[in-house]
Amino acid sequence: MVLAAVARRYPAEKRTLAFGICTAVGSFGMFAMVPVGQMLQARFAWDGALLVLAVLALAILPLAWPLAGRPQAQAAGGQSLGQALAQALRHHGFWLLCGGYFVCGFHVTFIATHLPAYLVDRTLSFSTAAWALSLIGLFNVVGSLLAGMLGQRFRKKYLLSLIYATRSVVILGFIMLPLSAVSAYVFAALIGVLWLSTVPLTTGLVGQIFGVRYLGTIGGLVFLSHQLGSFAGVWLGGYLFDVTGSYDVVWWLSIALGLFAAVLHYPIDDRAVAAQPA
């Protein structure tokens, strides 16, 4: 919703960078609010902490107000929402983006959920696992900003292919090299740079192809595939660990899926479609 609202306020030559900034700031908020939440909980107990966070959430209302009103980029040739959806569903690029986002969801939720258990299972400490997750969030800020800047200069589909292929290389190095606290931190930093760097590029590509008037809906459908991948990554990681006693199968599956997603994005036709009635 935030990216769709921002998309209507920025011209195409600045839009992907704006997406990258929004994603980075949101990621930093997630990173920063963990210690804040712990501090509030220690001082006011869990119920008091929730009340303070609720008051802080009210700041969204005045901050969102400037996005109200008629956006600048509304033209869609008189196309209705149903016609825009029908056009998107007939476009092969829409389905390729869905396939890539499924892999993204699989990667990030499998790692976020099961990396701590994997590290502890391999005799590293709980503290190391917590710091690894924190580093992912911190370096995600860098990756999101970098993706937003690069997306203004290079074709987004090629950048997405590069990100997914690099994820596979990083995961391969992580499972093949000897595991230590240092290697876990290096992996967390590298995968953090690649973490949500797909968001500004994928959303930017959806807007570039289908326009921004219905970006919230069309982009939301693409993001639905990300959530389906998220479910698969969390559930399959736990199921295969229970069956095999190891995460090795899921790590190798993640490598294969990353290479598959890299191939998926390469043939996407990223030219803007004419917004004509279906």
Joined together, the tokens standing for residue 179 give: 């595991």
Q: For residue 11, what pLDDT band results from cuts at 50, 70 and 90? A: confident
Joined together, the tokens standing for residue 232 give: 């698969």
pLDDT single digits (tens) 218-272: 999 999 999 999 999 999 999 999 999 999 999 999 999 999 999 999 999 988 8
pLDDT single digits (tens) 139-156: 999 999 999 999 988 999
| Of 156, 153, 160, nearest in space to 271 by CA | 156
pLDDT, residue 242, reads 94
Is residue 77 a contact partner of residue 274, using CB atoms and an 8 Å limit?
A: yes
pLDDT, residue 277, reads 55
Spatial separation of the C-alpha atoms in residues 220 and 228, rounded to whole Å: 12
pLDDT single digits (tens) 21-70: 988 888 788 777 777 887 888 899 999 999 999 999 998 889 888 877 65
Joined together, the tokens standing for residue 109 give: 């939720």
Supply the mean pLDDT for the chain: 89
* Long-range contacts, 239-248 (Cβ 8 Å, 24+): 241/114, 241/117, 247/114, 247/118, 247/121, 248/175
Spatial separation of the C-alpha atoms in residues 158 and 247, rounded to whole Å: 30
| Of 163, 166, 152, 273, nearest in space to 211 by CA | 273
Give the predicted TM-score (pTM) of the model.
Answer: 0.84
Spatial separation of the C-alpha atoms in residues 103 and 33, rounded to whole Å: 27
Spatial separation of the C-alpha atoms in residues 121 and 1, rounded to whole Å: 38
Spatial separation of the C-alpha atoms in residues 275 and 272, rounded to whole Å: 9
Neighbours of 135 (CB within 10 A): 20
Spatial separation of the C-alpha atoms in residues 253 and 111, rounded to whole Å: 13
Spatial separation of the C-alpha atoms in residues 112 and 223, rounded to whole Å: 18
Q: Tell me, which fold does domain 2-265 have in CATH? A: Growth Hormone; Chain: A; (1.20.1250)
Residues 6+ apart with CB under 8 A from 197: 140, 143, 144, 146, 147, 163
Neighbours of 170 (CB within 10 A): 18
- Say if residue 75 is exposed, middle or buried (CB neighbours under 10 Å; 0-12, 13-18, 19+): exposed
